[in-house]
Amino acid sequence: MCFEILYESDIWIGNSGNSSHSTNNKTGTVSESLFGSASLGHTGEAVKATGTIDVSGQFVTHDGTLSLEATLNDVNYNGMLNFI
């Protein structure tokens, strides 16, 4: 696997230690709420999330084997976030 795959909008890196998840892309969204969003503190000034989304997807193992299907709930969304 090469690092270019990390720039794909439908790739998420699993980290069970996260207190919340954030994205600037709605790929895979199965539901959306415009209320209850928290302020996101990334590098520099905090940015307000414009909504929360639930994202449907599937786990893929390190060797590319498809695994469990899952939904990541309450993901903070703001289309102006810049993760790259």
Q: Residue 13 has what pLDDT?
A: 73
- List, for residues 42-73, the tens digit of each pLDDT value: 566 777 888 999 999 888 888 889 999 999 99
Q: What CA–CA distances, in Å, run from 51 to 11, 27, 71?
A: 20, 14, 17
Helix/strand/coil for 35: coil
11 or 28, which is more confident: 28
Q: In this predicted structure, which of 7-11, 30-34, 58-62 has the lowest mean pLDDT? A: 7-11
Contacts of 18 (CB under 8 A, 6+ apart): none
pTM, entire model: 0.72
**pLDDT above 70: residue 38:** no
